[in-house]
A and B are shown apart, each in its own frame.
Chain A
């Protein structure tokens, strides 16, 4: 994968300008940037630090502290499988192994074709109806292996 980070810096700057006056602006800014760009590009860090009068270390510290923020682009589709207790009680570990095999990548990894990133999530709040899976913005409950295959197939089908 290219290490070149190409994104719209003007967009990042406008997000910072819009948010910088709000109390505790850093998280909302990071959310907006990740929303717009898909991740937090490393060369956005000094710009954010400058805008909020923080050190780069402080901004970097926040980005790396929270699981939600990405420092690299994700695959085209992000597949999150809940592996917390309630889903464990409903067989999510079997589903997790199946997903690794089906996609051919490990958790926190991306498939070679860049199509899917596989992630663990600790609780999607669907605890009575696990195993729960989220693909991009869509939630799915009671996901059997067959249902998982269908969902992945549907994403493979559309570009």
Chain B
């Protein structure tokens, strides 16, 4: 009987040796005359277990991990491929993967398929509720599709949290000979990888979401703007787009409905600010990624001057589920005005880093300790940066804040893209504040003065604070400068860089102390 063995193709798994492990499994099976089917699935998002090898059994999939190349022969010796292996028969046996508490405690709505299916297999996608949302959408009026998205309470997952349905309604109402859907997949924030996982591990979900968006607002053309640092995402998307086109899910006359939607991947070129929506449009148009002044809103004058829906990967790929299961299903998860689930990314100095999809309302502490297992270094967690390089550093006293857009805003923080980066007590928060200014200086598009010059001055001021040159005056200057950047910058790059800087200063003043540093003498 053929044994089905899974070894992930997600880039984190690859970075930890999954290709070598997969090759060793194929070779070992052949040498032993064992008939196997090797599936390259997505990652379950439990990265400390990668490469995670799974075997299909009657009871479900059992896991072993992390398995390096040299451990493969031992797996076969222990009889891992028989499906009847005792949990104690191998030191790295994990039992039924679905029963691992890290996975079992999650609410995987959007990431339901991720780690289970072969990402580029359309058959697998269809067998796991794929394209149910599109089929539903094809039976509906455009305005009704938009209404469903509005009612679901979905808000922009890229960080701005603007209601997705409202944006779509504006584009639907705009009159133009051409409209566009532009997917922002320029996931440049450190500590975030959920977009990457969707693109690598379930690309059809994003394609389906964009197709539904196109039908809903009357756009026949879409672009996915993907970072150049994500070659595996680009390859998986292109392969999936090719298959969707061939099977009639993209292109002209989609599934015989008369609707048209052409989709194309555009490769970015390493400019962080192109994650800002109007800079991204400039870049797709082939120009320098310089931020545009608003208005006009991109929904009315966006890509090539035409009405454009711009959404993040996670927002767009939530849409198939919302259509397939209905707005109420999605809306029933979450708290307050933050509806549905958020795929959160546990990163930095954590024992169990990975992808955790939970309904809004889960606290930072639950994520850091119940899921993350505390710091990997074993030292106390001192600060957590939530929401990327433009997000605030949160101290232990704020760890009970629930994930909710409004609750985070109330403590001068942002949910952002749901990434959290944990630091232990060896972190120097003055250095992190300097880094935030330095990053802004390196990545500013240069159009507005508060961001372009402010970040340069910010680095200088931080250097003076760090080297203890007239600290009280410099700290006053830093606050002044941050005020100008917050109120005067054209986009989030300049107006949010003060978030990490001021949160470091406010929550960790001891690192900016006006006493000479111990080692200064």
Contact = CB atoms under 8 A, between A and B. Distances in A.
Interface string B415-426: 000010111100
Q: Interface residues of A toward B: which range?
A: 35 or more
Contacts, number: 143
B192 A85 contact: no
Contacts of A65: 271, 288-289
30 contacts: A24-B266, A27-B266, A27-B286, A28-B266, A31-B228, A31-B269, A61-B288, A62-B286, A62-B287, A62-B288, A66-B271, A68-B268, A85-B191, A85-B348, A86-B347, A86-B419, A86-B421, A88-B423, A89-B427, A123-B188, A123-B189, A123-B229, A125-B187, A125-B196, A126-B11, A127-B345, A128-B193, A128-B348, A137-B231, A139-B11
A25 B12 contact: no
A128 B269 contact: no
B190 A122 contact: yes
B369 interface: no
B192 A142 contact: no
B269 A26 contact: no
B439 A129 contact: no
A141 interface: yes
Contacts of A68: 228, 268-270
A27 B347 contact: no
A152 interface: no
B354 interface: yes
A84 B389 contact: yes
A67 B269 contact: yes
Given A90-B348, A126-B193, A28 B267 contact: yes
Q: Interface residues of B toward A: which range?
A: 35 or more
A87 to B, nearest CB: 7
A127 B188 contact: no
Contacts of B347: 86, 89, 127-128, 130
Nearest to A30: B269
B162 interface: no
Contacts of A58: 287
B421 A127 contact: yes
Contact of B188 (A52, A87, A122): A122
Interface of A: 23-28, 30-31, 52, 58, 61-62, 65-69, 82, 84-90, 121-130, 132, 137, 139-142
Contacts of B349: 89-90
A62 B282 CA distance: 11
Nearest to A64: B288
A60 to B, nearest CB: 10
B509 to A, nearest CB: 21
Given A28-B267, A89-B423, A125 B11 contact: yes
A67 B270 contact: yes
Given A26-B286, A127-B347, A128-B345, 12 more contacts: A24-B266, A27-B266, A27-B267, A31-B267, A65-B288, A66-B271, A85-B421, A86-B348, A89-B421, A122-B439, A127-B193, A128-B347
